[in-house]
Amino acid sequence: MTREFSALLVSCLTVAGCQSITAVDGFDAVAARGEVLRIDGAGWGRSGHFAIAPAGTAGTFQRSAKATAVNGEKLALGDLKVTLAGGEFDGLSAECAHSRETFEITEQVSRGTTIQSSYLTGPYLLTCGFYRGEAAIGGIAMHEEVANDVRTLRSGRVEVGEVRMRLTSLHSGPGLALPTGEPLGYAMTYGSGDEAVLFVNGGDRRLALPKNGRDERAAAMLAGVALSLVWDPGDS
């Protein structure tokens, strides 16, 4: 099955639908000491263009997500390719693949009532390779974790050159009484203790990142673009 979806249905990652959430926890603090870049105009299709503002960088993307089911086993797969051109991020690109496996059971409990249960048998996995021109410079490895509440927790690592970052999903923001199930963004913590933070709510995609460091900024930008544009195979 190939996924086609409504942007509003899939991309409003809040507890009560599309709320006016303008930030995720930690974003404002990182923005105050760094810089904020917007990922504008990506749209909701399988391919398209976007801009990194005000950096003067243009981007293109191609993405897919599909799912197959056999005897209750559902395997969801997807991929993403991104290229950047112009400005300080010229020549950077990312190639990603992601997956999730679930087992679904439908039980007939009465003549007019059925119950469908879904069990996670293969947690969400995302891997990306990062490139500068033709040279491989790093990537992402991220996985899903089990939470004791509504959150779909994700964590992993990002590498570009000698730069290493710890990646953690964020589910709370100013004004939210409860955490969101799907991530509202990601915290990216450098080995130095400095941070970059990605915020994604519908078409509002913003990245707060340090002002200095070529590879530090490239790592945050590539991770931010990939995480904000990738289609979650669990939505297939």
Query: In this structure, is residue 72 part of a structural domain?
Result: yes
pLDDT along the chain (236 residues), means of 10: 32 45 91 97 91 97 89 87 98 95 74 71 90 98 83 94 97 88 94 96 94 97 96 61
| Helix, strand, or coil (residue 199) | strand
> For residue 233, what pLDDT is reported?
61
Query: In this structure, is residue 141 part of a structural domain?
Result: yes
- Say if residues 39 and 50 touch (Cβ distance below 8 Å): yes
Q: Which residues of 96-107 are buried (b: 16+ CB within 10 A; e: fewer)?
A: bebbbbbeeeee
Query: In this structure, is residue 2 part of a structural domain?
Result: no
> For residue 118, what pLDDT is reported?
67
- Say if residues 26 and 187 touch (Cβ distance below 8 Å): yes
Query: In this structure, is residue 39 part of a structural domain?
Result: yes
Cβ-Cβ contacts under 8 Å for 126 (sequence gap 6 or more) = 96, 97, 98, 140, 141, 142, 143, 154, 156, 226, 230
> For residue 1, what pLDDT is reported?
34
Query: In this structure, is residue 123 part of a structural domain?
Result: yes
Query: Domain limits at 227?
Result: 7-235
- Please tell me the total count of domains within the chain: 1
Give the β-pairing of 35-40 and 92-110.
unpaired
> For residue 15, what pLDDT is reported?
39
State pTM to two decimals: 0.84
- Within 12-143, residue ranges assigned H as helices are 27-33
Query: In this structure, is residue 25 part of a structural domain?
Result: yes
Query: In this structure, is residue 144 part of a structural domain?
Result: yes
> For residue 176, what pLDDT is reported?
85
Query: In this structure, is residue 1 part of a structural domain?
Result: no
